[in-house]
Amino acid sequence: MTRGGGSGFGLQELARISHGKGSYVFDEHGKRYIDGSGGPAVFSVGHCHPEVNAAISRQLDEIAYGYRYLFTSSALEELTETLLRVSGNCFKEILYSGDGSEAVESALKVALQHFAARGLMNKRHFIARRRSWHGNTLGALSVSGFAARRRAFEGSLLDVTFVSAANAYRMPEGCSSASLVGYLAAELEQAILARGPETVAAFVFEPIVGAAGGVVPAPAGYVAAIQAVCRKYDVLLIADEVMCGSGRSGTWRALEHDNAVPDIMSIAKGLAGGYIPLGATLVTAQVAAPILSEHGAFMTGHTFSGHTAACAAGVAVQRIIERDGLLERVRTAGAVFQDAVRGSLSKFDEVGDVRGRGFFVGVELVRDRATRAPFAPDRGLSFDIGRRAFADGLICYPCSGNVDGAAGDTIILAPPYNASDAELEEITAKLARAVGETLA
């Protein structure tokens, strides 16, 4: 065991991982863990898939990496063609990066460069939502409404305006289900007007909030309403699909469910399924055109952008997802899985809500189901459940602070897209056991 400084479960000692196969990983002592959360929703085709490993090996045998700004490669070109196609041919350009934080950072920079290319240098400001998480770089952290993760860096973050979370389970005071979307759209419009439309570059949001909210899909009609507001004031819409996209919610783009296309979209995690770090930022033709016309190229990139072996991994993962019909699998089995989780936890009064889409399910725990009052932050309930589940051989993803930045406990489940029915049942049973033992 080695000491860990920042485990998701608050563990002081970390098990040493040995190997993995499919939906399972094993530590050095041979203990088996079922991967019920894909780490933080990363593993889309499971562990040690022979086709992905073989694709990476073939690429390494040829060349590991060609510098993106000197060479293109077959792997990069094939991945680009694939991503443009599976995303519905809605985008024109793709900028590759190493992870989700870099993908969001690139999205912010593209938005700024777009307005610079149009001569609108006052459009520098971003609006985001409370209870959101967009990454660990200073820019991505700046647009994240995650108090605990921001606290140590306040004073060096961008000046960002925050509006309410779009959470039907925890609505703003005075809102009803019928009035929620209208309230949120009006709030965004007021924020733009208060700041000055001539200064606002983009609105950044997660179509399904992950770690900061515990899997919170936007209410019906929300995306169309905020997109209309953004278009009215020439504000770009940036969708952060790093966690909820690349098939996790049952459609390749999470926003397909909302029949919407953002101006800029960031993806990562399930893109290469955890085999090699890979992120990407997808840009529409309308956003790219003035940049390419005025500047000739996007002014964002990194040494390892479009890393050749990472692209080969991404191609292999996406080929498996498409060939094996895993999006349909996630759509159909996801609904059954969510119902099973809800049913297995229904006996616990402390389970306030079970929600999600596809293989992206969130459980919110409350002290009082009627009032939805959260447990005290120092109770650490979600992390206690995570530790007990881990000891029982289940990896889940506990999160805290979803109510006010301090209180609020959630558990996220995000299994591989090719997890079997039996494996989903095992995840469900072990989570129910961990919740029961912790509450007892």
3-state helix, strand, coil in the chain (%, to 5): 40, 20, 40
pTM: 0.96
Measured CA to CA, the distance from residue 376 to residue 381 in angstroms comes to 9
**Residue that has been written with the tokens 């506990």 in this structure:** 398
- For residue 315, give the nearest of 81, 102, 104 by alpha carbon: 81
User: Cβ neighbours of residue 97 under 8 Å, at least 6 residues apart?
Assistant: 103, 105, 106, 268, 278, 279, 280, 281, 302, 305
Chain-centroid distance, C-alpha 255: 12
Q: Say which amino acid occupies 405.
A: G
Can you give the pLDDT at residue 38? 86
Can you give the pLDDT at residue 3? 38
Token readout for 167 is 């959470």
Q: Would the CA dihedral through 234, 174, 211, 336 be positive or negative?
A: negative
- For residue 255, give the nearest of 220, 211, 214 by alpha carbon: 220
Cα separations in angstroms, 378 against 144, 256, 352, 383: 23, 39, 19, 11
Burial of 219 (0-12, 13-18, 19+ CB in 10 A): middle
pLDDT tens figures, 206-251? 999 999 999 999 999 999 999 999 999 999 999 999 999 999 999 9
Q: Where are the domains of the chain?
A: 2-48+325-439, 52-323
Radius of gyration of the chain (CA): 21
Can you give the pLDDT at residue 4? 39
**Residue that has been written with the tokens 């002081």 in this structure:** 12
Cα separations in angstroms, 437 against 50, 142, 351, 410: 37, 38, 14, 16
Residues of the chain with pLDDT under 70: 1-12
Can you give the pLDDT at residue 13? 83
Rounded to 5°, the CA angle 359-351-31 comes to 55
Q: How many C-beta atoms surround the C-beta of residue 84 within 10 A?
A: 16
Token readout for 326 is 């895993």
Measured CA to CA, the distance from residue 372 to residue 352 in angstroms comes to 7
- State which fold the 2-48+325-439 domain adopts: Aspartate Aminotransferase, domain 1 (3.90.1150)
Can you give the pLDDT at residue 6? 43
- CATH architecture of the domain with residue range 52-323: 3-Layer(aba) Sandwich (3.40)
First-to-last C-alpha distance (Å) of the chain: 28
**52-323 has the same fold as 2-48+325-439:** no
Beta pairing class for 394-395 and 32-35: parallel
User: Cβ neighbours of residue 8 under 8 Å, at least 6 residues apart?
Assistant: 40, 386, 397, 398
Measured CA to CA, the distance from residue 249 to residue 16 in angstroms comes to 31
**Residue that has been written with the tokens 């209180």 in this structure:** 407
Q: Is-contact 382 366, C-beta < 8 A?
A: no
User: Cβ neighbours of residue 289 under 8 Å, at least 6 residues apart?
Assistant: none
Measured CA to CA, the distance from residue 135 to residue 349 in angstroms comes to 33
